[in-house]
């Protein structure tokens, strides 16, 4: 089964991808994580991508495609954060045909609230926020390290990212509807309820 998760920034699609990966024992492929690793490692690709990411702009197709150039697994994976444009979707179709595209939908208002509340652990990378707050303010439940707010977790940047999403990624809805593989779930529900809803949709196409 080859699955694509769509969703606005902060929709929770990354969290859902990780939970589904464990439930299904699939490989989780996140272009966001791959990009952040490239930036952290200060690779040439990472340096190019960083300029776009810091402004809340989409990383160009050519860079993303280079990132995935090593190839996708043949089956049993969840693709998170790709495709983001029609060009990317067409490129993906040339490589492999997806079985289902799940759109984790949230309102812009919820997205903005989640953004300003999000905190990350400096040591283990755990993420906390509106839906999953830490037991103690600014302290990681798992390793007791300090939590911090990412520089791009602010209203100006998220509003810009939402605008870019609407312009460049929203057209994918019609693209995948025409292919007959699009479905939408409510991303504002409790996390575990969303997982179960996605699993039901996956079962329909197995």
Task: Return the active site residues.
Answer: 13, 84, 118, 150, 161
Domain ranges of the chain: 2-107+168-205
Judge whether residue 59 has pLDDT over 90: no
Return the ∠ at Cα 57 (arms to 55 and 59), rounded to 5°. Answer: 120
Task: Share the mean pLDDT of the chain.
Answer: 92
- Asked whether residue 36 carries a pLDDT value surpassing 90, the answer given is no
pLDDT of residue 84: 87
Q: How confident is the model at residue 14 (pLDDT cuts 50, 70, 90)?
A: confident
Average pLDDT over residues 159-178: 95
Residue 124 CB coordination number (10 Å): 10
**Residue 192 token pair:** 């575990």
- Burial (CB count <10 Å: 0-12, 13-18, 19+), residue 79: buried
Helix (H) or strand (E) holding 121: strand 119-121
Superfamily of domain 2-107+168-205: P-loop containing nucleotide triphosphate hydrolases (3.40.50.300)
Task: Give this prediction's pTM.
Answer: 0.81
**pLDDT tens digits, one per residue of 101-127:** 999 999 999 999 999 999 999 999 999
């Amino acid at each position: 089964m080859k699955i694509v998760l769509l969703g606005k920034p902060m929709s929770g699609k990354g969290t859902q991808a990780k939970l589904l990966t464990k439930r299904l024992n699939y490989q989780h492929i996140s272009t966001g994580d791959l990009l952040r690793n490239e930036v952290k490692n200060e690779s040439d690709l990472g340096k190019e991508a960083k300029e776009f990411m810091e402004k809340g702009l989409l990383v160009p197709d050519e860079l993303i495609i280079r990132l995935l150039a090593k190839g996708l697994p043949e089956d049993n994976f969840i693709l998170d954060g790709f495709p983001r444009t029609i060009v990317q979707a067409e490129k993906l179709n040339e490589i492999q045909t997806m079985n289902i595209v799940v759109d984790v939908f949230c309102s812009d208002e919820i997205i903005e609230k989640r953004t300003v509340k999000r905190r990350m652990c400096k040591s283990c990378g755990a993420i906390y926020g509106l839906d999953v707050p830490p037991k103690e303010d600014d302290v990681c439940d798992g390793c007791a390290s300090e939590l911090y707010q990412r520089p791009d977790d602010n209203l100006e940047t998220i509003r810009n990212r939402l605008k870019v999403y609407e312009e460049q990624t929203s057209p994918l809805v019609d693209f995948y509807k025409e292919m007959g593989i699009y479905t939408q779930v409510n991303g504002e529900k409790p996390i575990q309820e969303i997982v179960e809803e996605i699993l039901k949709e996956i079962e329909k196409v197995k």
